[in-house]
Structure 1
């Protein structure tokens, strides 16, 4: 069983079938980036239609028990998530309403500083704002996992301190292993370890690097080195894999409505657009080699289970419940 901490893109039946073949029975799906409240509700509606049309192979999962039930039935458990907090439009009361609609994971910022916190790409990380602290506490209460993947390191540390429940970095890597603004410094990883949080190791080449993308063994060595920093209980999988994305989709992710200029996001002028997937991960179903790769680099069966699904299930159990 594999749980992927985050994927994005235009999911369809083919994507679900590929995830099935990979043994992925839980995946956080991205329902939005820059969209406001109404657009975000539209997205949830489209997801419900998509799941209804493919109910023989996919189900919406809102709890660890529902993910495990999906695995027993051989289905993919889709966990509803957003990569920004624009869906709240500054209204704290909308947090519990989206939770009641089945949303379980929300990232505080997406690339830009907002009302809640600073992002990984700002020249100076502003830290957690007052609204950010209140929103985190409300997410804790409503049963939504706080995600800090695209959040600045200072703001992430602030979020860890402010949250009454452990948080996640659903899709990033250790900056000390591959230096990139999107990756997390060792002090962040240590703080996750101390508070029961989890980082999902990414496969996105721009933040993973060519060396770790070369073979499954190389990527699993990166996971092992991340475990050396964050501990075996705080490392999982968060591929950041996209489905059926085209040039307009990447432009929306990177530029949204906020700029007239070209923004490359985690890419660069030298490597714009869609970056090649890892050499070992050409197709979604290739995720099925991850458990074997982890064993190959020395993880025990118990440790493999923690990385592939156990750590996410523990974190979801701690955060998907209301208080």
Structure 2
């Protein structure tokens, strides 16, 4: 999951100032979101009853007219409910949320993380699970390996599942395993997950040692296989060295901006600029790391998106939620499970600063399956053009996938 103040929000430049008439036209429809965002700036555990009460009484959310026609991609997430048992079949609610989300595709994690001993078997089991879900629901889901299949998913109204790794540990020391997992449908390979592995240092390693020789060889192998390199969770040197070594654009599928919240899971402006210069795309997540302290909201997400646009340009920013597609049912059971998950991650040494038992892994004012539609409406209200919003929602990642996966 992941220098200046975390509450800083860049003011929009003159070309993004909303037209006064447009602002008036959407002001009533956006009232609910403005109100919740204002409350969210003060959010803490005792305020949750107030947030939920305000949400129940508030008017309907604003949406973006272009959403139905847009290619909408979540660069890290997946169908399902947070409280579902591991490997349980997708519920009727989860499948309904697939349809309600309006998503065209999502990068779903199939790898294990942090353990060489069990990850190969765990990864194969995860791939088999998602293959079974696709086979059971061919009207809702399809596997995406190519840009053409991504376009087909959008045209057919199905959710395209892009299999991805969040750690290189499943391949062990054997680069030939890249080809094996490629044959199984894996199209995105994240090099590290927080800790050090044989490839390089994750973002929690104090040594910040960068890529190993094996790591450089893996970058070359992934380029050769036309697979997308993902540098989320990577240390700064690992990130910058992989960008420089790759012969094509790479992704940072889910991250935030360190300039707004100086936490290890967020990327510095230098990393973001070098990513953009190579043609890559950074997905901004909906995670606790958007703030140094307290519960983040849509206000924080938009601040990180706008900062990334200012640093990278609008062609290099997207969304990687790092969450389940279905909304969170915020109740005592969720709070207990979340606290247990944080404790487990700390015990395993993979928890990042910013993960707290009372700061939750979703944004309260975007807690719906169609959250990206609502986000698009908020961006439009901020004065961002329809063309820019379409890029952020998925156009940029669609271009990156097509470039990375195309034959050499």
Q: TM-score, normalised by structure 1?
A: 0.89
- Of 345, 348, 351, 1:254 maps to 345
Superposed, which structure 2 residues align to 1:1-323 within 5 Å?
1=70, 2-7=72-77, 12-13=90-91, 14-34=93-113, 35-208=118-291, 213-215=296-298, 218-242=300-324, 246=337, 250=341, 254=345, 264-268=351-355, 271-272=356-357, 275-323=360-408
Deviation by residue 1:141-181 (Cα, 9 ceiling, x = unmatched):
11221111100011100000111111111000110022211
Alpha-carbon distance in 2 for matches of 1:123, 1:145: 27
Contact 2:256–2:289 at 8 Å: present in 1 too?
A: no
CA pair 76-114 structure 1, distance change in 2 beyond 3 A = same
Alpha-carbon distance in 2 for matches of 1:98, 1:144: 11
Deviation by residue 1:175-218 (Cα, 9 ceiling, x = unmatched):
00222110000100010111101100111123456789334x55
When you count strand as a share of all residues, which structure comes out higher? 1
Q: SS in structure 2 opposite 1:68?
A: helix
Find the structure with the greater CA-based Rg: 2
Displacement of 1:32? 2.2
Displacement of 1:219? 2.6
Greater relative CO, 1 or 2 (CA 8 Å, sep 6+):
2
Contact 2:76–2:253 at 8 Å: present in 1 too?
A: yes
Q: TM-score, normalised by structure 2?
A: 0.72
Q: SS in structure 1 opposite 2:365?
A: coil
Q: SS in structure 2 opposite 1:236?
A: strand
Judge which range, 169-178 or 62-71, deviates more.
62-71
Alpha-carbon distance in 2 for matches of 1:71, 1:114: 36
CA pair 171-263 structure 1, distance change in 2 beyond 3 A = closer
Displacement of 1:112? 0.7
Alpha-carbon distance in 1 for matches of 2:215, 2:349: 28
Displacement of 1:280? 1.5
Alpha-carbon distance in 2 for matches of 1:67, 1:252: 37
Contact 1:202–1:208 at 8 Å: present in 2 too?
A: no
Alpha-carbon distance in 2 for matches of 1:284, 1:129: 40
Alpha-carbon distance in 2 for matches of 1:29, 1:208: 25
CA pair 320-250 structure 1, distance change in 2 beyond 3 A = farther
- Contiguous gaps of at least 5 residues in structure 2: 1-69, 82-89, 329-333
After the TM superposition, which parts of structure 1 deviate over 4 Å for at least 4 consecutive aligned residues?
Answer: 8-11, 208-212, 243-249, 260-263
- Contiguous gaps of at least 5 residues in structure 1: none
Q: SS in structure 2 opposite 1:24?
A: coil
Alpha-carbon distance in 1 for matches of 2:279, 2:224: 17
Contact 2:254–2:285 at 8 Å: present in 1 too?
A: yes
CA pair 39-274 structure 1, distance change in 2 beyond 3 A = farther
Q: SS in structure 1 opposite 2:318?
A: strand
CA pair 136-263 structure 1, distance change in 2 beyond 3 A = closer
The CA RMSD over aligned residues, in Å, is 2.5
CA pair 266-61 structure 1, distance change in 2 beyond 3 A = farther
Contact 2:167–2:191 at 8 Å: present in 1 too?
A: yes
CA pair 263-99 structure 1, distance change in 2 beyond 3 A = closer
